[in-house]
Structure 1
Amino acid sequence: MFVRKKRNRSGTTSIVVAVKIQGKFKEVKTIGVSRDEAEIERFYKEGKIWADNQVKGEDLFEQHTQQTDEVYVTNLLLSNIENILHNGTQLILNRVYDSIGYDAIDDYILRQLVISRLDQPMSKSATIEYLKAHFNEDLHLGKIYRYMDKLYNTQQESIQKISVEHTRKILGGKIGLMFYDVTTLYFESDYGDGFREPGFSKDGKHSQPQIVLGLLVSEDGYPLSYSMFNGTQYEGHTMIPIVDDFVRRFKLDDFVLVADSGLINKKNIDFLKAQGYKYIIGARIKNANKIQRDWLQSLDKVEGHFNETTVAHGRLIVGYSEKRAKKDAHNRIKGINRLEKAFKAGTISKENINKRGYNKFLVISKDVQVTIDKSNVEEDAKWDGLKGYITNTDLPAAEVYDQYSSLWQVERAFRITKGTIEMRPMFHFTPKRIEAHVCICFVAYKVYKELERILKENRYKISVDKVLEVAKTVTTLKIKLPNSGKTMSKTMIITERQKAIEPLFSDDFWKFQFG
């Protein structure tokens, strides 16, 4: 039994104990591996001690060599790590993206931009650096911009078709309810260009150019279609083009359109009736004629009770809610207090006053002399808690109310796309890139909603935002095997928070979901 120094192809030296049996050398123990001459000599001496003890029939060195082996293997592992990827969100979102059917679109850049939008929304320039640092994805900014210039008219149709087909599938084969609403998206710019123009901003950015975005979603808030309009566009004129186009493209014949009272006008209602479309639309009961107003004011305000009458556009259903009544009263008091503070400070004049909101309570006799009309306040209080709905369906009043109440799904879609996905403010300035940006956010929201559905179906008591937050802490080690040259990958699930979502990284979990 003897100790030998063995040179490796990697440049390291192994210290091994060997024996000669029938003219052949056989290694019986590796003491250590190193590049450092001093450490090599130490390993050599330890090998001599171990070999001598073996000859004497003693194994006093066994415990030490086990520890040496552990250090050796660990050092070997660490020295061959090629990369550490912070790709936990990517691993989950790729699965969701594919489960919807977007993998049918052979578009690698779209996939990366969508996942980045959910994982770390930022400018396209910053996204490039993020993809490289976290996922080892190497894209170039110029390529991204060229891609966006063509995305607007190449993939939008396929994207919406996949979204609609997937939504039909998870809703049992039909769309059913469709909810429509609009929002505004502003730009970090001081100038308009004909498309991006200042208008009434739902974000309070009235001086900055904007566009109007119309969004159509299904029951439970799954996105179906969208369209963009000039920043000055009246929202009531946006509904018919997008709804009619969507219905014709996807051949819908059994649906109910639900929309807010801000979208109601004679032209819209006449069109919906002419096309035979079913609808539930919020009614502007305060603008009713005298006969209808008298009827409305005569109603008993009973929680959960509905009253109904026939009007020109269908059935007018009116309900009362104590919760709504308290909210109406609170908002009115808050608005009046704000007005009183403003005119006492001398900041109200005829030049800047309008009749929106609670300014309708003001009486202006001169530019700087304003008072609050108490009779208008008392008249407004009579409507507290009342809400009207116009429909041409034959649904029971309570069901009309329930379906209209789901309109919050569109509002939530806007909150998520503006907040989590950061659709706005926009930093693009050409119609093509604006369209592409909205398209990417549309797909990102669809992926968000599908992950939300999967979590709910599997009874995860954790939000999408929390899952993505935890997934950001999950890393994948890429280790190059020194002899074969092959690369192994290991996703590290270590902490208790990570273990709570561990199934989402498993092949078996996704096979069970979708077969």
Structure 2
Amino acid sequence: MFVRRKKNRSGSISVVVADKSSGAFTELKVIGVGTTEDDIRALVKEGKEWIAHYAGQQTVSFPDEAAEQLKREEDAMTEHIVSNIIGTSLKSPQTIINKVYDRIGFNAVQDEELRHLVVSRICSPMSKKATVDYLRRHFREDVSLQKIYRYLDKLYNTQQELVQAISVEHTRELFGGNLGILFYDVTTLYFETTDKDELRESGFSKDGKNSNPQVVLGLLVSRGGYPLSYSLFNGSQYEGYTMIPIVDDFVQRFKLGKDFVVIADAGLMSSKNIKLLRDGGYKYIIGARIKKESGEIMEKIIATEHRNGVFNDIKYPDGDRLIAGYSDERAKKNAHDREEGVERLRKRYAKGTLTKADINKRGYNKFLSVSSGVTVSVDEEKVKHDAIWDGLKGYKTNTDLSPEEVYEAYQNLWNVERSFRITKGTLDVRPMFHFTPRRIEAHVCICFVALKVYKELERLLKQSGCQYSVDEVLRIAETVVAIEIARPENNDTVTKTLCLTKEERAISYLIETDDWLEL
């Protein structure tokens, strides 16, 4: 046995008792770690005393001395481990997201910048400048701001098609190769500026930002809300004119047949759209504007039995069908909304007149002149007539599906609405601070990939029996610390993840294994 000095990566010196047998060194005892020559000499002396004791020389250790020795050994071991820690990180959210990112197939995009931007968009959506700081502080990823900006241009030019193709292929695999149903909807994304160009224009804003320039985003999703494809349109574009181009483009780009059903809400229903869908050979289910139907059709809709699950299957002259149904829940909501609205009117105009002050509350009506009060009242007959429609809803289709199947399929349209909520809320796609079309397109592309990863993680968590939502899992993972420890004798490093709390232990399998990805 002999005393050996070892230099650590931190610059300190570990003093150990070692033995050489058959040409191999074996550490028997870590005496301690020193940083000054005096510390090291004292540790060497202690090591020699330890050898003298255990080599058979007659030294006596009393009980108190033995306890103190154990404490010193424990302190030395702790110091040895701590002195060889070369880094810590909070990479667990990144680890989880990276696994899902790769499982989908986005690792086929060779640029790591996309991966970094998607991870930060899901974990902590913020400006690109703030993203650089976030990646460096949390994940020890050193990505420059200029590199990100250059990558946005590359993403716009070369990789939008690839990421959408990857998303489509993965989604098709989830559903056995057949998409079956496509849901389409649009939303608007506004900008905090007054500048306008060929893409950014004012228009009807779904965010109530009608004075801000915006773009119109059209999104196709599958069953379960998995994003398939998207397109950006000029901010002044009428949403009803966006559906056919994106559906046609989707079919052509991904060489799909037309064995699927397009589902959209009543806002996209127009005679032109219906004709284009029919002429294009598409099957569709679109929300009907039942209060604008012809008198005969309206009478048949109203005659529908007001009972859940009962439908009136009405034929149009052109062969399409109108499926009219009733819902108690919808009826209650319709009645409640109307009662609230009428009550507000009654309170606002309790005096029976409409004054200039009332008009001034309605946007640009402030430029109107009112020379005297205008008599106003609630038309009770109109209120009564409106109540006839409570609970009724119609769906126009050219499919052979049963009324129940049409109803059920349309109800899943909430998936695309939820996708927009995730994109606008959790992923903060807007407001946007990019001001060139290519950067805007690239930003939306990153959010599209992030939405796909988010939805797949959501599915996998549910499949693995996880009790937490995506947002909760990532919040918990933020507190999980990973430590990197140098092992000089092995000439390598090891990383240990510390899951200490009950919540952290509950999600540890997401970080430490890949089994949950294959369930």
User: Are 1:182 and 1:214, in contact at CA under 8 Å, matched by a contact in 2?
Assistant: yes
User: Are 1:350 and 1:367, in contact at CA under 8 Å, matched by a contact in 2?
Assistant: no
Of 234, 240, 251, which residue of structure 2 is paired with 1:230? 234
Alignment of 1:249-260 (within 5 A): 249-250=253-254, 251-260=256-265
Alignment of 1:89-108 (within 5 A): 89-108=93-112
Residue aligning to 1:77: 81
Give the C-alpha shift of residue 43 in structure 1: 4.7
Q: Any stretches of 5+ residues in structure 2 without a counterpart?
A: 365-369
Residue aligning to 1:304: 309
Whichever residue aligns with residue 57 of structure 2, its letter is: V
Distance 2:207 2:438 in 1: 23
Give the C-alpha shift of residue 301 in structure 1: 1.2
For the residue of structure 2 that corresponds to 1:434, the secondary structure is helix
Alignment of 1:37-436 (within 5 A): 39=39, 43=43, 51=52, 55-56=57-58, 58-60=60-62, 61-250=65-254, 251-312=256-317, 314-343=320-349, 346=355, 347-349=357-359, 352=362, 368-436=374-442
Q: Any stretches of 5+ residues in structure 1 without a counterpart?
A: 355-363
2:467 equivalent to 1:455: no
Distance 1:369 1:101 in 2: 65
Whichever residue aligns with residue 384 of structure 1, its letter is: D
For the residue of structure 2 that corresponds to 1:225, the secondary structure is strand
* Cα offsets for 1:362-404 (capped at 9, x unmatched): xx99875433222221111110000001111111101100000
Give the C-alpha shift of residue 221 in structure 1: 0.6
Q: CA 1:427/1:433 → structure 2, altered by over 3 Å: closer, same or farther?
A: same
Q: CA 1:414/1:16 → structure 2, altered by over 3 Å: closer, same or farther?
A: closer
Normalised to the residue count of structure 1, the TM-score between the two structures is 0.89
For the residue of structure 2 that corresponds to 1:194, the secondary structure is coil
Distance 1:20 1:172 in 2: 62
Give the C-alpha shift of residue 348 in structure 1: 3.7
Distance 1:398 1:159 in 2: 36
User: Are 1:95 and 1:510, in contact at CA under 8 Å, matched by a contact in 2?
Assistant: no
Of 502, 507, 515, which residue of structure 2 is paired with 1:501? 507
User: Are 2:33 and 2:76, in contact at CA under 8 Å, matched by a contact in 1?
Assistant: yes
User: Are 2:7 and 2:13, in contact at CA under 8 Å, matched by a contact in 1?
Assistant: no
Distance 1:40 1:47 in 2: 10
Whichever residue aligns with residue 118 of structure 2, its letter is: V
Distance 2:229 2:13 in 1: 65
> More displaced, 283-292 or 470-479?
470-479
Give the C-alpha shift of residue 64 in structure 1: 3.1
User: Are 2:136 and 2:142, in contact at CA under 8 Å, matched by a contact in 1?
Assistant: yes
User: Are 1:31 and 1:65, in contact at CA under 8 Å, matched by a contact in 2?
Assistant: no
User: Are 1:477 and 1:490, in contact at CA under 8 Å, matched by a contact in 2?
Assistant: yes
Residue aligning to 1:438: 444
Give the C-alpha shift of residue 107 in structure 1: 1.5
Distance 1:241 1:130 in 2: 38
Distance 2:104 2:248 in 1: 25
Alignment of 1:478-493 (within 5 A): 478-483=484-489, 485-493=491-499
For the residue of structure 2 that corresponds to 1:216, the secondary structure is strand
Distance 1:187 1:19 in 2: 71
Residue aligning to 1:32: 32
Give the C-alpha shift of residue 299 in structure 1: 3.0
Give the C-alpha shift of residue 9 in structure 1: 4.0
Q: CA 1:234/1:14 → structure 2, altered by over 3 Å: closer, same or farther?
A: closer
Residue aligning to 2:367: none
Whichever residue aligns with residue 262 of structure 1, its letter is: G
User: Are 2:6 and 2:15, in contact at CA under 8 Å, matched by a contact in 1?
Assistant: no
> More displaced, 427-436 or 182-191?
182-191
- Aligned residues: percent identity? 53
Distance 1:172 1:424 in 2: 34
User: Are 2:184 and 2:221, in contact at CA under 8 Å, matched by a contact in 1?
Assistant: yes
Q: CA 1:98/1:47 → structure 2, altered by over 3 Å: closer, same or farther?
A: closer
Give the C-alpha shift of residue 466 in structure 1: 0.9
Residue aligning to 1:361: none
Whichever residue aligns with residue 445 of structure 1, its letter is: L
For the residue of structure 2 that corresponds to 1:114, the secondary structure is helix
Give the C-alpha shift of residue 12 in structure 1: 4.9
Give the C-alpha shift of residue 353 in structure 1: 8.4
User: Are 2:335 and 2:390, in contact at CA under 8 Å, matched by a contact in 1?
Assistant: yes
User: Are 1:178 and 1:217, in contact at CA under 8 Å, matched by a contact in 2?
Assistant: yes
Aligned residues: 499
Whichever residue aligns with residue 308 of structure 1, its letter is: D
User: Are 2:305 and 2:311, in contact at CA under 8 Å, matched by a contact in 1?
Assistant: no
Whichever residue aligns with residue 378 of structure 1, its letter is: K
Whichever residue aligns with residue 503 of structure 2, its letter is: R
Residue aligning to 1:359: none
Distance 1:82 1:29 in 2: 22
* Cα offsets for 1:90-120 (capped at 9, x unmatched): 0011000000011111121111101110011
Distance 1:169 1:52 in 2: 69
User: Are 1:306 and 1:320, in contact at CA under 8 Å, matched by a contact in 2?
Assistant: yes
Distance 2:211 2:57 in 1: 91
Q: CA 1:463/1:376 → structure 2, altered by over 3 Å: closer, same or farther?
A: same
